[in-house]
Amino acid sequence: MVNPKIYLSPPHMSGREQYYLMEAFKSNWIAPLGPNVDAFENEIAAYVGAIEAVAVNSGTAAIHLALSLLSVTKGDKVFCSTLTFVASANPILYQGAEPVFIDSEPDTWNMSPTALRKALNEAALKGKLPKAVIIVNLYGQSARMDELQLICNYYGIPIIEDAAESFGSTYKDKASGTFGKYGIYSFNGNKIITTSGGGMLVSDEKETMRQARYLATQARDSAPYYQHSVVGYNYRMSNLLAGVGRAQLHVLESRVDARRRIFDRYYHALADLPGVNFMPELAGTRSNRWLTALTIREEKLGVSVRQIVESMNKANIEARHVWKPLHLQPLFKDAAYYSHTEDEHIAEDLFQTGICLPSGSNMTEKEQNSVINCFINTVNDAKKTIYYFRKHEV
Ligand SMILES: *Cc1c(COP(=O)(O)O)cnc(C)c1O
């Protein structure tokens, strides 16, 4: 008998979601927008310490709005982390702009300040600076914000912080997602909290956030009839889903704690294996450990990432390769790319060696043990060794 599937990062409801849904049903406030949307926006803004928050129907929509607000248009360039999900960069294409991909650095797996400086320096010399830099916080880990902000400020380029994966994380005690001119969160089904699908744009710019609300509701001018002067979108969050989000926000801290505990259990069980290295946590930052990620040196461990992913699949466990860098994607084959150093391509190396393990906050210890055992058994089978899972230590 195969065990029930262990998912990478499934939704984890608290039980209070139905209360908010019931309230909305009782008052027939199914749409449009409504009190849950207003409250969810205020609660998120207060939680992360931003002046304004606009609830939208996806994290991708939030990135698209941020680019629109910065007037990114055809022929413009936008710099973006290369090691990320395609949704970070797709909105650049929606605007007809050109992405330039920036490599990672080893300590955070996020945007390399060295590569960014080189890219901006060359762009300045050519007189073609980007309209924005999209900085991603991978798997919950904040990028090197101090260094990156310093470089962007020097050239006067606004930052969009893609905190889709890092909601609940901090950098020097300040909420992840609040470091750029705009920050975005995602409440997609696989994220640390979910509204089944949704996102949030946050910023301290009151005036442009009014513009964000306008663009996200079909850009209706104030007139007694339907009048439109610019292209708008239908991007707002439903009042029902905002209710789910409010209940989820109540339990965010416990979700972060749970994911960090799962990271610790994997770490204690697997970190001593030869060639295994866990994703670091930069000093002064706290990661929500959205997904536990680690790298495997095949020449030392005796198995490849692909072998582990396959044997997990056979055991009905969903493990995944680390994101394939966007500069290697067929979609972006013509885009420019700046590596960390001349001969260090960090994101490519992380893609070759990186794996994400199931990290859902509702995973049982038994399920975590299944993942650990599967990992160790795969290594033992390949190497004819007998590493074992020292359960008493974790
Ligand atoms: C999930 C994700 C997004 C997109 O969010 P959606 O709500 O799914 O549109 C953007 N960037 C990153 C890094 C993500 O992981």
DSSP result, 50-84: -SEEEEES-HHHHHHHHHHHTT--TT-EEEEESSS
Can you give the pLDDT at residue 311?
A: 97
Can you give the pLDDT at residue 394?
A: 47
- The yes-or-no verdict on residue 231 having pLDDT over 90 is yes
- Give residue 70's pLDDT band: very low, low, confident or very high (50, 70, 90): very high
Which residues are the active-site residues? 191
Nearest CA to ligand 1 atom 2: 164
Of 87-101, 241-255, 319-333, 372-386, the range with the lowest mean pLDDT is: 372-386
Taking the CA of residue 191 as reference, the ligand 1 atom at the shortest distance is 1
Can you give the pLDDT at residue 187?
A: 98
DSSP per-residue codes, 87-109? GGTHHHHHTT-EEEEE-B-TTTS
The torsion angle over the Cα atoms of residues 221, 224, 225 and 227, rounded to 10 degrees, is: -20
Domain residue spans of the chain: 17-250, 253-391
Taking the CA of residue 187 as reference, the ligand 1 atom at the shortest distance is 7
- The yes-or-no verdict on residue 88 having pLDDT over 50 is yes
Pairing of strands 132-136, 159-162: parallel
Q: Which residue has the tokens 């260094």?
A: 147
Give dist(CA 360, CA 255) in Å, integer.
9
Can you give the pLDDT at residue 169?
A: 98
Residue-wise pLDDT for 128-155, tens only, equals 999 999 999 999 999 999 999 999 999 9
Nearest CA to ligand 1 atom 11: 88
- Give residue 390's pLDDT band: very low, low, confident or very high (50, 70, 90): low
- The yes-or-no verdict on residue 107 having pLDDT over 90 is yes
Distance 87 CA to ligand 1 centre (A): 5
Pocket flag, ligand 1, residue 162 (CB < 6 Å)? yes
Taking the CA of residue 58 as reference, the ligand 1 atom at the shortest distance is 7
- The yes-or-no verdict on residue 283 having pLDDT over 60 is yes
Quick check: helix, strand or coil at residue 147? helix
Nearest CA to ligand 1 atom 8: 188
Task: Note whether 17-250 and 253-391 share their fold.
Answer: no
Give dist(CA 159, CA 80) in Å, integer.
10
Pocket flag, ligand 1, residue 164 (CB < 6 Å)? yes
Of 12-16, 25-29, 128-132, 199-203, the range with the lowest mean pLDDT is: 25-29
Nearest CA to ligand 1 atom 14: 164
Distance 60 CA to ligand 1 centre (A): 6
Beta bridge partners of 171: 174, 285
Provide the sign of the torsion angle of the four alpha carbons 160, 163, 168, 171, taken in this order.
negative
Let me know if domain 17-250 sits in CATH 3.40.50.300: no
For the chain, what is the mean pLDDT? 96
Distance 259 CA to ligand 1 centre (A): 19
What's domain 253-391's superfamily in CATH? Answer: Aspartate Aminotransferase, domain 1 (3.90.1150.10)
